[in-house]
Amino acid sequence: MNSLSNQIQFTPEKCKQIALARLDLIRKWQEFRRKAVNKLQADYNFVKLHNCSNSYLFTILGKISRGSLHRWKTMLDGTEDYTRLIPNYKYVSVNEYRTCLTDEEIKIFMGLLLHTNRICIGKAIALTKYKLKEQGQSFIPADITFRRYAKWFKDNNYDKWVLARDGEKALSDKVEPYIKRDASLLDVGDILVADGHKLAFQVINPFTGKPCRATLVGFLDWKSTALVGYEIMLEENIQCIASALRNAIINLDMIPKIVYQDNGRAFRAKYFTDDKGFGELGFYGLYAKLGIETVFAKPYNARAKVIERFFKEFQEGFEKLMPSYVGSSIFNKPAYLKRNEKFHKTLHQDYVPTIEETIKMIDMWLKFKNSQPCTNAPNMTIAEVLESRKKQNIDINMLDDLMLATEVKTIQRNGIRFLNCDYFDERLYGLRGKVLVKYNLFDLTSVKVFTPKGEYLCTAERVTETHPMAKILGTVEDLEDYKQKIQKQQKLRRKTINSVKQYLSNEEVKVIEQKMDEPKEGEFKLRSNSLQTLFKNNSEKYEYLIKHDPSNIWIAEFKNTREYKLLYE
């Protein structure tokens, strides 16, 4: 019984089909033969009928002879055991191959074919045949013989083929089995996956004003597959990674339990010239302060990067729609960047977006992306899964350590000059020297200012420009803005004078006070023999004169001005 089961188990399927077809044909022949008087003539007639038919048995067995029928009958020996009719073909297992190539020919051929430089099959065949001729071998196998052996070897030894020609990473990515992870067991915000992506389109660098390819460092929520936080990195700046995490925490309004990212050293070296790992950059301390566990994936393990699928969709659905798209490599750059493509160059729009415009467009695309079905939650969109999170009411000031990289700036009379804008706060008034500025490209209306030692100074607001003739040509808002700035100047001036008085004698103080009484721009005085009043603007002067001196000529003149009409009519 054991020998029979082993025979059936190791018999090729084609041989089994042939044996069963032979048994069926023998039974039909014997039935046909019993009805005939002349048995010999019946045999010839049956063979002729079979060889001329298009039956299923003919497609398997092909043409037969009378001798084949009698031989098969003898092999059965009165039994119905089809295994007796199995062809005695010489076949080999998947680990063997029947070929006319000698061991020496196979050794030479496979030595070339499994070379680390990935020599193509045709070139390996040509070199093998040349070497055999040089060795004086008279019979040289045909090219098809080598090709068939190469195909068999690749099909039955694919792991060896990939490892020898492409390396261990290709073996891990293409051959080794992978583990399927059940993301439905997670909650939103449990794990954020971090990675970076070199943008395939150009943006305007606000520091230089020139087009460049920036890097998007993003954090993806594993459960909802939504990009919950990202940062645009223009230059080598390690804090961009921390800033992207900061944006993710603010958008989620919760602190994740785990941040899962590529190997620390590889993630660092992927985007920066220095290849120090995260353990040497203080990121462990930043994450641990927030109670976040840091987990690093195995180096060069593409299967661990669940964010790679998002970046592929981002490139196909967003980057290729940008007018400044330049491609991610030389192989997929658009036609207008290639030589002699005059037609495409005339069609191309030379528009390069700014960082602010890029962020707005990315947010619009993310809104579309989050409206798509979520792969980890059936019958729900990505946005719906994301909204199911439990918010924690995070204090943004607690995340200052995760802000974008610090810039060193010098305090000037208008505050801090940064990205062609002035940022000012009263606490910067009277200071000179170097300060540290922390900023976020997502919100440039203000920057945080620190001393060189890291002590917090203030949050400086961006200074807006004033209408050149707000009183006459401007709107009410322009005039009010002008008044506010004049009052701020006077306040700071008085602050300085009061401070200086402490260091001067009484006579010097009197001189300063006399100079203070002189009218300045935006100030108005009403003088009389017994009373001297200082007004901050025309409105205060008008209100005062209506109450105390309604017959004053200045009132009639002021009523004819545009300022009066804007304020009172």
pLDDT at residue 421, rounded to an integer: 85
Count of Cβ atoms closer than 10 Å to residue 66 Cβ: 14
**pTM strictly above 0.85:** no
Q: Which two tokens stand for residue 541?
A: 């002067």
Query: How many whole angstroms separate alpha carbon 398 and alpha carbon 396?
Result: 5
- Report how far residue 447's alpha carbon sits from residue 542's, in angstroms, rounded to the nearest whole number: 40
Lowest-pLDDT range of 46-55, 312-321, 419-428: 419-428
**What pLDDT, on a 0 to 100 scale, did the predictor assign at position 304?**
54
> Which token pair is 189?
């915000």
Chain-centroid distance of CA 242 in Å reads 16
- Cα→Cα distances 487→92, 257, 439, 501, 520, Å: 98, 49, 28, 21, 12
Where does the pLDDT of residue 544 fall: very low under 50, low under 70, confident under 90, or very high at 90 and above? confident
Q: What angle do CA 547, 528, 541 make, to 5 degrees?
A: 40
* CA–CA distance, 522 with 545 (Å, rounded to integer): 18
Residue 193 pairs in a beta bridge with 220, 260
- Tell me the torsion sign for CA atoms 412, 416, 418, 421: negative
- pLDDT greater than 90 at residue 334: no
pLDDT greater than 60 at residue 287: yes
Query: pLDDT band at 114, cuts 50/70/90?
Result: very high
pLDDT at 281: 52
Residue 379 identity: N
Q: Work out the number of other CB atoms within 10 angstroms of the CB of residue 38.
A: 9
Q: Which pLDDT score, from 0 to 100, does residue 181 have? A: 80
Residue 525 has what pLDDT? 46
Is the separation of the CB atoms in 296 and 261 below 8 Å?
Answer: yes
What pLDDT was estimated at residue 513? 61
- For β-strands 191-198 and 215-221, DSSP reports them as antiparallel
Q: Among residues 88, 90, 42, which one has the least CA distance to residue 66?
A: 42
Question: Which band of pLDDT confidence, cut at 50, 70 and 90, is reported for residue 2?
Answer: very low
Residue 372 has pLDDT above 60, yes or no: yes
pLDDT confidence band for 402 (50 / 70 / 90):
low
Give the residue-averaged pLDDT of 540-544. 82
For the stretch 437-470, pLDDT in tens is 887 766 778 888 888 887 888 889 888 888 777 7
From residue 523, how far is each of 68, 450, 487, 494 by CA, in Å? 125, 36, 10, 14
Instruction: Confirm if 254 and 235 have CB atoms less than 8 A apart.
Output: no
Range from 117-121, 180-184, 324-328 carrying the lowest mean pLDDT: 180-184
pLDDT band with cut points at 50, 70 and 90 for residue 524: very low
| Residue whose pair of structure tokens reads 């994936």 in the numeric block | 297
| pLDDT surpasses 90 at 147 | yes
The three-point CA angle 474-477-480 to 5° equals 95
Q: Is the pLDDT of residue 382 over 70?
A: yes
* Half-sphere CA count of 450, side-chain side, radius 13 A: 16
pLDDT at 7 over 60: no
Residue 366 has pLDDT above 90, yes or no: yes
**pLDDT at 3 (0 to 100):** 45
Percent of the chain whose pLDDT exceeds 90? 29
The C-alpha atoms of residue 462 and residue 425 are separated, in whole angstroms, by 9
Model confidence over 187-203: pLDDT tens digits?
998 999 988 888 999 99
Give the pLDDT mean for 486-515.
Answer: 72
- Evaluate if residue 401 carries a pLDDT over 70: no
Average pLDDT, the chain: 81
Residue 48 CA, chain-centre distance (Å), reads 71
- Side chain identity at residue 78, one-letter code: G
Least confident piece of the model among 224-238, 257-271, 304-318, 479-493: 257-271
- For residues 487 and 426, what is the distance between their CA atoms, to the nearest angstrom? 13
Lowest mean pLDDT among 297-301, 423-427, 556-560: 297-301
* Mean pLDDT confidence for 354-359: 90
pLDDT digits (tens, 9 = 90+) for 76-113: 988 889 888 988 765 555 566 778 899 899 999 999 99
Confidence band of 473 (pLDDT split at 50, 70, 90): confident
Distance between CA atoms of 71 and 277, rounded to whole angstroms?
Answer: 77
Which residue intervals of 65-120 are DSSP H helices? 66-76, 103-113
Do the beta carbons of residue 160 and residue 114 sit within 8 Å?
A: yes
Does residue 381 surpass a pLDDT of 50?
Answer: yes
pLDDT interval class at 185 (50, 70, 90): confident
Question: Alpha helices, DSSP H only, in 35-136?
Answer: 39-51, 56-61, 66-76, 103-113, 121-134
Given its phi and psi angles, is residue 224 left (phi above 0), alpha (psi -120 to 50 degrees) or beta? Answer: alpha
d(CA 257, CA 374): 21
Q: Return the percentage of the chain with pLDDT > 70, whole number.
A: 82
* Cβ-defined contacts of 323-331 (< 8 Å, 24+): 323/348, 323/349, 323/350, 323/351, 323/352, 324/201, 324/202, 324/203, 324/211, 324/351, 324/352, 324/353, 325/200, 325/201, 326/200, 326/201, 326/202, 326/213, 327/200, 328/198, 328/200
Strands 258-261 and 191-198: parallel
The radius of gyration of the chain's CA atoms, rounded to the nearest angstrom, is 43
- Whether the per-residue pLDDT at 536 is higher than 60: the answer is yes
Residue 354 clears pLDDT 60, i.e. is over it: yes
Query: How far, rounded to the nearest angstrom, does the alpha carbon of residue 13 sit from its chain's CA centroid?
Result: 49
Task: Give the model confidence (pLDDT) of 204-253 as tens digits.
Answer: 988 788 999 998 989 999 999 999 999 888 876 666 777 888 889 989 99
Query: Three-state SS for 436?
Result: strand
Q: Is residue 288 pLDDT above 50, yes or no? A: yes
Block residue for tokens 């006399």: 514
> ∠ at Cα 218 (295, 177), nearest 5°?
50
- Model confidence at 29, in pLDDT bands (50, 70, 90)? very high
Looking at residue 507, its pLDDT comes to: 60
Look at residue 515 in the predicted model and tell me its pLDDT.
60
Instruction: Lowest mean pLDDT of 24-33, 46-55, 177-186, 302-311, name the range.
Output: 302-311
Measured CA to CA, the distance from residue 355 to residue 444 in angstroms comes to 11
Instruction: Identify which has the larger pLDDT, 209 or 521.
Output: 209
- Amino acid 518: pLDDT: 55
Q: Report DSSP letters for 208-268, one per residue.
A: T-SEE--EEEEEEETTT--EEEEEEE-S--THHHHHHHHHHHHHHTS--SEEEES-HHHHH
